[in-house]
Amino acid sequence: MGQNLTRKILADHLVSGELEPGAEIAVRVDQTLTQDATGTMAYLQFEAMGIPRVRTKLSVSYIDHNMLQTGFENADDHRFLQTVAAKYGIYFSRPGNGICHQVHLERFSSPGDLLLGSDSHTPTSGGAGMLAIGAGGLDVAVAMGGGPYYLKMPKIVGVHLKGRLQPWVAAKDIIFELLRRLTVKGGVGKIFEYYGEGVASLSVPERSTITNMGAEMQATTSIFPSDERTREYFRTQKREEMWRPTSADPDPEYDEVVEIDLNKLGPMVARPQSPGNVVPIEEVEGTKLAQVCIGSCTNSSYHDLAVSAAVLKGRKVNPDISMTVTPGSRQVFTMIARTGALADLIESGARILESACGPCIGMGQVPPSDTASLRTFNRNFPGRSGTADDKVYLASPEVAAVSALTGEITDPRKWGEPPPTEAPGEFIIDDDLIIPPPKNGDVEVARGPNIKPLPLAEPLAQTIKATVLIKLEDNVSTDHILPAGSKILPLRSNIPAISEYVFHYVDPEFPAKAKAAGAGIIVGGSNYGQGSSREHAALAPMYLGVKAVLAKTYALVHQTNLVNFGILPLVFVEEGDYDRINVDDALEIPDVRDAVGSGEVTVRNTTQGYEFTAHHNLSERQVEVLREGGLLNHIKAHAG
C-alpha cells in the first residue's frame, strides 16, 4: 500500500523519533502564528530565551481577539505586539486586517509546509494542504527560536468522502457528521486526512471549515490534499507561484478509515452545550431564537457571507431576532462591499461587526438570558457566549441565514432551490495592513503597565503534599478552567490578575481557596482540558500553587501545557479511585521526583487513610521537563 499525505509531510520535517503511533517525535516548523490573546505571553517567553531574531521561514503576529478597547490594556498589548514583532523579525497583521486563520489561509498558507500556531483552530490552513497544528504559546515560542515541536506520533485516520453535497447542505455538515459519530473525544491522538472523489467538489474555504472544526474532536490536526481546486484558490489570491501539488500515494494506508457519503448528508445542528451534541436539523426545527450570528474563523469566508447575503437579499431579519455578521478578513469585507452583498446584508437588518473573533470568544453580542442563540461558530461550551445559562446552537451559514428570517431554527431545504452565488475569479489583494519586519531589530519594545513578568514554576519536589481544591466531571474545557470574554481576555499579559478568574464560572472561590491551601491538586474526569489551546489554563493554576492534576484522560494540548508549566498530569488507574476522592482531601505523592520516571506513582489520601496508584504516559523528555519546573526552565538549563 502507498504512503498517506500526512506521513509524507511528517517524514519531510522529522528531526528525531520514529513515525510509529504513540512514539514521541520532533518535527521542524516552517511557519508560526500567534494572536493577541496568546501572543503577548508567547513573545515574553521568546524574549526570555535571549534569541535575537526568529529562525522560522515565516512568523506572523495577528490582532483579532482583544479588539474591544474599554480600557488601556488591549491597546497597550497591541503596541507591545507590534514593536516586539519588528524587533524579532515577525510580520504583524494590524487590528482590522482580520481573523488570524482566515488571513493566514488567504495570504500565507503553503501546501506541504508545517505551521504551528498558538490557537487551537490553526488547522484551518489544512484546507490548503498544509500540516497546521495548534499548540500552547510556549511551544510556539520555542519553534520561533528554531527548536522543533515535540508530539506523540498520531494515528492517521483516512476520511473517505464519496459523492457530493446536495443543495442547502454545507461543508460544516461534514464535520458535524464526524462529531456526531466520534464525539468531542474522538480525535485524541489522531490526524484526519480527507481523500476520495468527494474532495474535488469542495472549495478551499469549504475544506478549511472542516479542518478548522476538527479541533472540536481534539484532533491533532486535519488536512486535505493540495490539488487543482487548491491551485485555483491560490490563483484567485494572486499567489499561484506558492502552490504545489501534495497528495497521498495511490491506495494509501491509514490506521483507521471513516466513510462519509456526501449524497446522504442533510443539514445538522449542534445543540447546547457541546459542539459534539449534533443532531439532524429535523430534531431541533422550530426552536425559537433571539439571536443569529454569522462569522468566526469557521464560517466567515467570502463564500459564507455571499451565501448568507443571497438568502437575505430583498428580505428583512425577523423582528424578534438580533443578527450579526462578521467578515473574516478585510479582504472578505472589501469583496462583499464591491459585489453588493454587504448592501444586501445591511438592508436586511443584519448588524455588521468588524473583522475579528468577536462574539465567538464572548467579545460582545452576549445573548439575552433564557433565550436561544444560533451561531455559525465552532464552540458552544457553557457560558462561552457570556451568558451563564446560555443556549447556543451551532449551524451552517445557510441554516443561520434562513433561520434569521423565520425567527426559529428552520430547515432551508423547505425554501426551495438555493439562491445562485458565484465564486470570484480573483480576490482584491491589499496587504498594506500586514507590516513586514525591518531588516534589523533596532526597535524599542513598548510595554504597558498591564504586561507583567512571566512567572516560572519551581522544580518538581521530591514529595508533593497538597489539597484537592476542586473535583470536576467529564469534558471540562479550557473555557471552564479560564474563561474568555471582554472582562477577562484583556488580562492575558498579567498572570497575577488573570489568575483571579480560574474556574470563575465553576467555583468563584477557587483562587482564594488555592492561595490559602498553598499547594493544590485538581481532580478531573475524562477529556480534561478540551477546547482552546490557551496555555493560560495551565499557567494561571500553576501561579496559584497547583502542583498536579488527577484526571481520567486529558486533551493532549492541555496535557502538554501542564507539563510545560511544571504541573504533573496524572491519570487514575481505577475508576473507583476517581469516585472515592473528595474535595478538601489531603493528598501526598511520596518520592514523586524519582518515581515519576517509572510512569507510576503512589498517591496517599491522608484524610481518608488509603492509597492508590496513578500513572502517566509522558515521554522521558517530558519527565525531565517536569523535574526542572517546566519547559522554559528546561531550555535555560540546556541552552546551547
Q: Of residues 207, 379, 536, 593, which has the active-site annotation?
A: 379
For residue 379, indicate whether it is catalytic.
yes
Q: What are phi and psi of 226, to 5 degrees?
A: -100, 110
Helix (H, G, I), strand (E, B) or coil at 476: coil
Which alpha helices (H) appear in 50-188, and where do they start and end?
72-88, 100-107, 137-144, 171-182
Name which of 245, 270, 531, 251 is nearest 391 in CA terms.
270
For residue 65, indicate whether it is catalytic.
yes
Helix (H, G, I), strand (E, B) or coil at 377: coil
CA 29, CA 145: separation in Å to the nearest integer?
A: 10
How far is CA 179 from its chain centroid? 16
Q: Of residues 76, 113, 119, 390, which has the active-site annotation?
A: 119
How far is CA 302 from its chain centroid? 21
* Exposed / middle / buried, residue 48 (Cβ in 10 Å: 0-12, 13-18, 19+): middle
CA 635, CA 640: separation in Å to the nearest integer?
A: 9
For residue 532, indicate whether it is catalytic.
yes
Q: Of residues 7, 13, 30, 64, which has the active-site annotation?
A: 64
How far is CA 523 from its chain centroid? 24
Q: Of residues 203, 274, 300, 532, which has the active-site annotation?
A: 532
440 Rama class: left (phi>0) / alpha (psi -120 to 50) / beta? beta
Q: Distance of CA 492 to CAs 37, 44, 65, 502, Å? A: 6, 12, 11, 12
Residues 6+ apart with CB under 8 A from 439: none
Q: What are phi and psi of 222, to 5 degrees?
A: -140, 155
Q: Of residues 104, 121, 229, 534, which has the active-site annotation?
A: 534
For residue 389, indicate whether it is catalytic.
no
C-alpha cell of residue 370: 433564557
Which DSSP helix (H) or strand (E) runs through 236? helix 228-236
CA 244, CA 240: separation in Å to the nearest integer?
A: 9
CA 383, CA 362: separation in Å to the nearest integer?
A: 9
CA 36, CA 18: separation in Å to the nearest integer?
A: 35
Q: Is the peptide bond before 273 cis (omega within 30 degrees of 0)?
A: yes
Gyration radius of the chain's alpha carbons: 24
Which residue's entry shows cell 443539514? 267
Q: Of residues 65, 330, 384, 504, which has the active-site annotation?
A: 65
Residues 6+ apart with CB under 8 A from 280: 266, 267, 268, 269
Q: Which residues are catalytic?
A: 64-65, 119, 379, 532, 534
